[in-house]
A = this chain, B = another copy of it.
């Protein structure tokens, strides 16, 4: 077994480790016990992940003498809602966990966001440990402390900032993902290059096949992504400024997810982000901020790995542009009147634009759906 990589997130008073490597689920009990003595845990997972990874995790916790009570929820984005949040909270309280005990999220972003929210509100904040099993969760949602659920009004509109105590990213589990899921996580890795790491984007253009195949390039790309996210989070934990850069592709992406009813058969988060990033580059080009060549380069790479890049790549019809604008208007990143978007001046040169006229966005979307 190769030595795991550790990315340290030095948040003041709440520093934590992201451990990245092969076979970590089988070592989870030891990794946790080495950092915290005598805690009990509730393990939250979904039906799909439970079948693959729950027993190995529970066995590992048991070996380390950690008392664990599991809760298995339905798989899918629809689980990120109030009813399931209440179930998780009840499970934690029924297990009589105390403030110093921990909630362990074993799963992808849905399980992480939901369990992290529960950990953030039961007893006004318990310990939280992430064991992300999707690439998306390993490089994005398990790092940074954002938790939340969806409502009829939009995605992630209810939640808290609650930092994990530990993240264990087992790179072996990614072999159980479908190609489509892996690609969706890849979109977020590419995002870090497009925000401010042009060299990383170029490296991905050359090495993406190796990242998909596994091996050292995969772990390296995950570690670079976690470090990139951690750097932004440390600088701006509560998204009052620079952290908004992480939303590159997300304002369009969230609107598309809402417009397709969060139906993962039609569009998953990473795919929405892929299309959203291409739209952000194209819109930047249209506003004469970036070259159309950069938009083409982004689109070409994402398409090469098999990601959707156009509105027309989404199967089934989209609602009217007015309704898309309504979803954009309800996005958390909105400031009254003008819209806030992450736009770009080129590959790795993204910036926060807080004065985007809604009329320009509307016209751009109308054209895009016609093309």
Contact = CB atoms under 8 A, between A and B. Distances in A.
Interface string A65-87: 00000000000000000100010
A148 interface: yes
A158 B121 contact: yes
A159 interface: yes
A14 to B, nearest CB: 11
For the residues of A in contact with B, the DSSP-based class is: loop
A76 B205 CA distance: 61
A125 B96 CA distance: 28
Contact of A124 (B90, B146, B154): B146
Interface string A5-41: 0000000000000000000000000000000001000
A89 B161 contact: no
Nearest to A101: B336
A177 interface: no
Interface in A248-280: none
A238 interface: yes
B151 A120 contact: no
B90 A151 contact: yes
Contacts of A94: 153
B124 A159 contact: yes
A335 interface: yes
Contacts of A332: 99, 123-124
A102 to B, nearest CB: 14
A118 B294 CA distance: 42
A238 B163 CA distance: 15
Contact of A335 (B82, B93, B98): B98
A89 B122 contact: no
A160 B123 contact: no
A158 to B, nearest CB: 5
A125 B158 CA distance: 9
Contacts of A157: 93, 122-123
B82 A151 contact: no
A289 interface: no
Contacts of A125: 160-161, 238
Given A86-B82, A332-B99, A335-B98, A153 B123 contact: no
A242 interface: no
11 contacts: A89-B151, A89-B158, A96-B329, A96-B330, A98-B334, A120-B160, A122-B158, A123-B157, A124-B146, A124-B160, A125-B160
